[in-house]
Amino acid sequence: MPGLVELAYTTGGGVVGAALTNYFTKIQERRQVRAEVHRHLAKVREISGGVRGIGIGAAPHPSGNDRRPSIAVELGVAALLDDGADAHQALRDALADLLTAVLVAGMPRRVADFAGGAHERLLDSTLMTTIDRRIGGVLGAESDRLARATQEYQTAATGLLLAMLWHPWRTRLRLRRRITALRTEVEALNRQQQNAVAMLTGAEHTSALYEQLDPDGRRWEAWGLKKQGPAG
């Protein structure tokens, strides 16, 4: 039977051992959580910048004064990935998985929303510049400016998410200021995208795109559209 000293040592050792086990378990859990966020973020990046073609989508309708201009909705087209999948649908699914991982990591929802929105913006701008190339480059130098502004915003929004993931307490001290900066940046980007959509959805440019995507005009007829492009 152990003496009092031996008993105290054994008990203390057990407590320390349990504490160390708990500590290393939490470290491992944090690593796994961070790895999940990185994995889903990589998938989102792959999709948002992975447009390889354009196809016919659902019937077009004007997006009006929506805060997020959607040229896919305006024109009734779909951004296609390498495997032919609809990029917008694939991105929605990937963003849902990313949001889940972010919330499990204990990060603020608004940080995830900015990061997700930035990748949606990137996909929209990528589709715009892809359409622009297909119809002869009507945006001119604005195409490069749009691509650069979108990439810069995506980098900033994703950077905030990663900073919150790896340095949560330090990042929280500057969170309000960084979010204010992101809001200013996305407002400017939104205006650029609206201008690009307005140009690319003009009747002449729409007709040029439809001639390529639907040369026999059958889809136009199914949509009840005239040859000059979608009304509205």
Asked whether residue 2 is domain-assigned, the answer is no
The number of domains in the chain is 1
| Residue numbers of the domain that contains 133 | 37-220
**SS3 state at 154:** helix
The pLDDT tens digits for 113-130 are: 999 999 999 999 999 999
Regarding pTM above 0.85, the answer is: no
Separation CA 146–CA 89 (nearest Å) = 23
Got the DSSP string for 39-67?
Answer: HHHHHHHHHHT---EEEE-SPP---TT-S
Residues 115 and 118: their CA atoms lie apart, in Å, by: 5
Q: Is the residue at 116 inside a domain?
A: yes
Q: Decide if 23 is inside a domain.
A: no
Residue 13 located in a structural domain: no
pLDDT, tens digit, for every residue of 174-214? 999 999 999 999 999 999 999 999 999 888 888 888 888 88
Each residue of 164-176: pLDDT tens digit?
Answer: 999 989 999 999 9
Helix (H, G, I), strand (E, B) or coil at 167: coil
Query: Would you say residue 170 lies in a domain?
Result: yes
Angle, vertex CA 91, rays to CA 214 and CA 181, nearest 5: 115
Residue partners of 217: CB distance under 8 A and separation at least 6: 210, 227
Tell me if residue 33 falls in helix, strand or coil.
Answer: helix
| Nearest Cα residue to 138 out of 40, 207, 62 | 207
Which residue's structure tokens are 């492009």? Answer: 229
> Which amino acid appears at position 35 of this protein?
A
Q: What is the CA radius of gyration of the chain?
A: 25
Distance CA 19, CA 221 (A): 71
Which helix (H) or strand (E) segment holds residue 79: the answer is strand 77-80
For residue 90, being part of any structural domain is answered with yes
